[in-house]
Structure 1
Amino acid sequence: MKSISKYFLNGLIIIVPIAITIFVVAQIFSFAENILGRHLPQSIHFPGIGLLAVVILLVLTGWLSSHWLLKEVLQWGERLAGSIPVVKFIYNSVKKISTALFESQQLLKNAVLVPYPHQGVKALGFLMPELSVPLAQHFNEEHVCVFVPLSLNMTAGVNILVAKQDVIALDVTSESALQYVLTAGAIMPDTGKATNI
């Protein structure tokens, strides 16, 4: 009976991630197909056209944005959005987040330990970009920004400013650090040396 339970758990460990991945990819395909299928005649509709159209749209927009005319149009649109109070806040926030996520190669890459929520305990976090001058000028010693995510929920957490000398850099892969957070510690990060940054 023990061996059956063991095999059952092993099966779950193998099948569940594959099933979730297939489900997510299938949903993306389905969403793209449904959106495009409403506006195209049935004669030119074929499986995969939605995803193909999204990829072409992204590449075309990126290519056009490198030309001066579209740059001028985009800048005009940004100035227009910047003149409307509520829209300005939403647009600027989303743009900054998108830029940080898609352009930064180091976001959520450097796993560290920090004293949080108080001295005497440690929490796993991720080193964020360098502090801006308005923040850094309020400290006598060098501080860094660390994002401490909530377990089971990477979309929530706190950003804390910590003295650099109190931050311990972890010699672990970013994937294993993320797994540690997402599983509430059920999967521990890969072991490795830890040194002060």
Structure 2
Amino acid sequence: MSPDNPSPTPPPDEFPSDGPRGLMARFRNYFLTGLIVTGPVAITLYLTWWFVTWVDGLVRPFVPSAYRPETYLPFGVPGSGLVVAVIALTLLGFLTANLIGRTLVDLGERLLGRIPAVRAIYRGLKQVFETLFSGNGSSFRRVGLVEFPSPGMWSIVLISQSPSANIAASLPGQEEHISVFLPCSPNPTTGFFFYVPKSKIIEVEMSTEDAATLIMSAGVVQPGAGDAKSMAALAGVANAARIANSASTLQPKPAPAKVE
């Protein structure tokens, strides 16, 4: 090559990538790929193991040693307490379904109802369990959007039931209110409970499982993200509701009559 026409220097991206920077990039990509693959599996197995161990620790003291697998085996059997708990709860439900079991349950409820400190706790927990685990109830099976914590900001809520008569009478205005629960991210077991007018709730075509996934991932995992039309329609409904709410609050009030 003549000195008058030297060879052009290749741009930085044309250099071979087998240097230290290329090796570190490959190492990072492989590490992140392995983390993505094993992370959910490891956390799922850990939570499952923790739950099984927790149930075993609660149930095993009530099981006689003659019926424990570790009595006859040189090692313990994880999950034996969980199996006993499932069988015992199923048997208890079967016995409660007949007349004798129902009578015993009513007797126990009357005894608990006479203890002032325990009565309120028991009644509240019983109503919560009947609402959540009953197949006929509709609480927390619908998902909605409310404008919270400020105008223009929308939060996902789980729709519950209408307030009782005495609470509804104390709420301002004539519009019907609905109780909702707003889970916090990333722990959906904590959040805010409040009453909101029914017209302020935008019901969303989303299951509670998808809503929990969206909240726990802080928006990283978008259920149904492949359906762009439904997401666009949801955004349009939320924007229309915001415009309608702002228009109702910004309507000019009639000027007072001039007194001469």
Classify the TM-score, shorter chain.
Answer: 0.7 to 0.9
Letter matched to residue 153 of structure 2: V
**Structure 1 residues 76 and 164 mapped into 2: Cα distance closer, same or farther (>3 Å)?**
same
Is the 2:158–2:208 Cα contact (8 Å) retained in structure 1?
no
Who is 1:166 aligned against?
Answer: 200
SS of alignment partner, residue 178 of structure 1? helix
The answer to whether the 8 Å contact 1:173/1:189 transfers is no
The 2-side partners of 1:55 and 1:143 are apart by 39
TM-score normalised to structure 1 length: 0.83
TM-score in terms of structure 2 length: 0.65
Within 1, Cα distance between the matches of 2:39 and 2:208?
Answer: 22
What is the identity percentage for the equivalent residue pairs of Structure 1 and Structure 2? 29
Q: Map 1:36-75; keep pairs closer than 5 Å.
A: 36=60, 39-41=64-66, 42-43=71-72, 47=77, 48-75=79-106
2:179 is matched by which residue type in structure 1? C
Pairwise CA distance, 1:65? 0.5
After superposition, what is the alpha-carbon deviation per residue over 1:107-155, rounded to whole angstroms, capped at 9, x for unaligned? Answer: 4432211011233322121111233333334440122222111111212
- Higher RCO, 1 vs 2 (CA within 8 Å, ≥6 residues apart): 1
**For residues 167 and 176 of structure 2, what CA distance do their matches in structure 1 show?**
11
**Higher Cα Rg: structure 1 or 2?**
2
Distance 1:67 1:28, change over 3 A: same
Which segment drifts farther, 41-50 or 171-180? Answer: 41-50
In the alignment, the residues of structure 2 paired with residue 86 and residue 17 of structure 1 have an alpha-carbon distance, to the nearest angstrom, of 42
**Matches of 1:149 and 1:33 in 2, distance apart?**
30
Structure 2: stretches of 5+ with no match in the other structure? 1-23, 239-260
- Residue 82 of structure 1 is matched in structure 2 by 113
Distance in 2 of aligned mates of 1:157 and 1:13:
29
Q: How do 1:27-38 and structure 2 match up within 5 A?
A: 27-34=50-57, 35-36=59-60
Superposed CA RMSD: 2.8
Contact 1:173 1:190 in 2 (8 A): no
Aligned CA distance change for structure 1 residues 27 and 120 (closer, same or farther; 3 Å):
closer
1:3 CA drift (Å): 4.0
Structure 1 unaligned residues grouped into runs of 5+: none
